[in-house]
Amino acid sequence: MVLSNYSTEDKVLLAVDCIIFGFDKEELKILLVKRDFEPEKGKWSLIGGFLTKEENLDQSAIRILHHLTGLNNIYMEQVYSFSKVDRDPAERTISVAYYALIDIATHDEELIKQNPIQWFSLKEAPKLIFDHNRMVEKAIARLRRRALSKPIGFELLPEKFTMRQLQKLYEAILDTKLDKRNFINKFNSFDILIKLDEKDMSSSKKGAYLFQFDQEKYKRKVEDGFNFKI
Amino acid sequence: MVLSNYSTEDKVLLAVDCIIFGFDKEELKILLVKRDFEPEKGKWSLIGGFLTKEENLDQSAIRILHHLTGLNNIYMEQVYSFSKVDRDPAERTISVAYYALIDIATHDEELIKQNPIQWFSLKEAPKLIFDHNRMVEKAIARLRRRALSKPIGFELLPEKFTMRQLQKLYEAILDTKLDKRNFINKFNSFDILIKLDEKDMSSSKKGAYLFQFDQEKYKRKVEDGFNFKI
């Protein structure tokens, strides 16, 4: 039995690609960078780079994201490693995808404005290089599973939000229209919202009540899970 | 902005480690191999090897598993990529962990018996090399999340099984005692079991009714999910 045989030819480059989803109260967006070298120069790409000797994958993702976008302190989660033999025509490269959800407004000031990076609506995003579209699909699938099995929104919504905004977020993630009354009933049954004595008057004369997450209960619900059926 | 710079020194070996969980009607077990080369020669290890040039990670996992154990046609799922800088003292190696659940009896004949491979009860498994124990923990956490959010058992139980066996499986995965009556009520509420007109007489004089999964309903429940609270 030979477990150890390998040839140095089998060594590979390890890339890290960051899928940054943002929410702007209405829409789910994705942060992309215009690639400035061959192959595929000038095309849109995920925020990516290569693992170096002195870092692990988590550290690499943080460094690459910060270097290309300016974003700091973003908690990213590893999604999946992509390894199709010819996925990068230049050289055998395995890529580990990471993803994060951020509130666009909160992080706007950190973004390096002169870099060719741009938020795209998920629905109108350009075709990406290599297998990056598959990476995005995989991350969305993960995000959906998460939204159906535990609360989501803490990282994506402002501190105070309306029911409509929370519903918009769920609709964007699940890519479907939800019935307003069902949604409200369901979310209330999870018992993680605090209704404030305060209204958002921006969208109607009557105004819409603002809500906050009850942090303790939200946290417990993330641990216990729920089953949000569409 | 430099996205492409890398040095060939940054190239890494990519290992694949397979976490094979088995169930034998009572206990959750793990398949391990005794390592026959340095470093850590003679210690117990996950079923592992290196990615080669002409295969992707899924193919590599299948090849390595088959080569070392004889197991065939096992559907493995990618769990996570482990990348601590010094995880393998011999050389910078990133390892991608895969896992599968199998019914031990069904696959017993495939196992290469002369190889130093062995089933261990999860609770009595030896300390593993490198970060393999962390890999196992990560796979168990994944397995637990899965068991709490959708039915599990189709790959692990014989075609006909008793409620006790199903409960034993859940208790093994969740590592906790479950109340019999609660468990039965909960599982019946999921409506995926068919009660057969047939009894297993091996464990008591009265016998215990045998059940089967309703394949259609089971499949739908895997898609829709549920919330199995302990």
Residue A11 and residue B11: Cβ atoms within 8 Å?
yes
| Residue A2, pLDDT score | 43
A145: its two tokens: 């599973």
Rounded Cα distance, A114 and A33, in Å: 12
**Residues from chain B contacting residue A3 (CB–CB below 8 Å):** 33, 35-37, 45, 48-49, 68
Strand A208-213 to strand A161-162: parallel, antiparallel, or no bridges (unpaired)?
antiparallel
What residue segments make up the domains of chain A, in order of their start? Answer: 12-148, 151-224
Rounded Cα distance, B128 and B32, in Å: 9
Our CA-based measurement puts residue B39 at a distance from the nearest CA of chain A, in whole angstroms, of: 10
Share above pLDDT 70 across residues of chain B, in percent, rounded to a whole number: 97
What's the whole-number mean pLDDT along residues B25-45?
92
Residue A13 and residue B6: Cβ atoms within 8 Å?
yes
| Residue A220, pLDDT score | 93
Rounded Cα distance, B148 and A197, in Å: 37
Asked if the model's pLDDT at residue A29 lies above 70, the reply is yes
Residue A36 and residue B148: Cβ atoms within 8 Å?
no
First to last CA, chain A: 51
**Residues from chain B contacting residue A229 (CB–CB below 8 Å):** 224-225
Q: Residue B79: closest CA among chain A residues belongs to which residue?
A: A80
What's the whole-number mean pLDDT along residues B131-137?
98
**Inter-chain contacts counted by CB atoms under 8 A, chains A and B:** 115
| Residue B229, pLDDT score | 79
| Residue B5, pLDDT score | 63
Nearest to B225 among A11, A80, A148 (CB): A148
Asked if the model's pLDDT at residue A197 lies above 90, the reply is yes
Alpha-carbon torsion angle B152, B109, B96, B124, nearest 10:
70
Rounded Cα distance, A29 and B55, in Å: 34
Our CA-based measurement puts residue B6 at a distance from the nearest CA of chain A, in whole angstroms, of: 7
Rounded Cα distance, A33 and B23, in Å: 47
pLDDT band for position A1 (cuts 50, 70, 90): very low
Our CA-based measurement puts residue A91 at a distance from the nearest CA of chain B, in whole angstroms, of: 11
Our CA-based measurement puts residue B57 at a distance from the nearest CA of chain A, in whole angstroms, of: 6
What's the whole-number mean pLDDT along residues A168-197?
94
Mutate to test the interface with B, among A2, A5, A6 (most CBs of B within 10 A): A6
Nearest Cα to A187, choosing from A220, A209, A155, A211? A211
Tell me which CATH homologous superfamily contains domain B12-148: Nucleoside Triphosphate Pyrophosphohydrolase (3.90.79.10)
Asked if the model's pLDDT at residue B27 lies above 70, the reply is yes
A17: its two tokens: 């690609």
Model confidence over A73-123: pLDDT tens digits? 899 999 999 999 999 998 999 999 999 999 898 899 999 987 799 999 999
Model confidence over A42-85: pLDDT tens digits? 999 999 999 999 999 999 999 999 999 999 989 999 999 999 99
Our CA-based measurement puts residue B211 at a distance from the nearest CA of chain A, in whole angstroms, of: 26
B111: its two tokens: 């196992």
Strand B93-103 to strand B13-23: parallel, antiparallel, or no bridges (unpaired)?
parallel
Residue keyed to tokens 């393999």 = B132
Asked if the model's pLDDT at residue B7 lies above 80, the reply is no
Nearest to A52 among B10, B96, B115 (CB): B10
Asked if the model's pLDDT at residue B203 lies above 90, the reply is no
Indicate the SS3 state at residue A13. strand
Indicate the SS3 state at residue A209. strand
**Domains A12-148 and A151-224 fall in the same CATH topology:** no
Share above pLDDT 70 across residues of chain A, in percent, rounded to a whole number: 97
Indicate the SS3 state at residue B4. coil
Residue A51 and residue B10: Cβ atoms within 8 Å?
yes
Asked if the model's pLDDT at residue A152 lies above 80, the reply is yes
Nearest Cα to A29, choosing from A208, A147, A168? A168
| Residue B1, pLDDT score | 40
Model confidence over B139-187: pLDDT tens digits? 999 999 899 989 998 888 888 999 999 999 999 999 999 999 999 999 9
Residue A53 and residue B10: Cβ atoms within 8 Å?
yes
Residue A229 and residue B224: Cβ atoms within 8 Å?
yes
B122: its two tokens: 């999860």
Nearest to B4 among A37, A55, A58 (CB): A37
| Residue A100, pLDDT score | 95
Neighbours of B201 (CB within 10 A): 10
Residue A11 and residue B13: Cβ atoms within 8 Å?
yes
What's the whole-number mean pLDDT along residues A210-228?
92
Q: Residue A38: closest CA among chain B residues belongs to which residue?
A: B4
A157: its two tokens: 């919504």
For residue B200, what are the β-bridge partners?
A: B208
Mean pLDDT of chain A: 92
Beta strand residue intervals within chain B, DSSP E: 13-23, 28-34, 44-45, 47-50, 77-82, 93-103, 117-121, 161-162, 193-200, 208-213
Nearest to B37 among A3, A49, A80 (CB): A3
**What are the percentages of helix, strand and coil residues in chain A, rounded to 5?**
35, 30, 40
Share above pLDDT 90 across residues of chain B, in percent, rounded to a whole number: 77
| Residue A5, pLDDT score | 63
Rounded Cα distance, B17 and B133, in Å: 11
Alpha-carbon torsion angle A147, A149, A154, A160, nearest 10:
80
Domain covering A151-224: architecture: Orthogonal Bundle (1.10)
Counting DSSP H helices and E strands in chain A, the numbers are: 6, 10
Residue A56 and residue B83: Cβ atoms within 8 Å?
yes
DSSP letter at B122? G
Nearest to B84 among A11, A56, A96 (CB): A56
CA B207 to chain centre: 30
Alpha-carbon torsion angle B50, B55, B58, B62, nearest 10:
-70
| Residue B38, pLDDT score | 86
Asked if the model's pLDDT at residue A3 lies above 60, the reply is no
Confirm if A70 and A109 have CB atoms less than 8 A apart: no
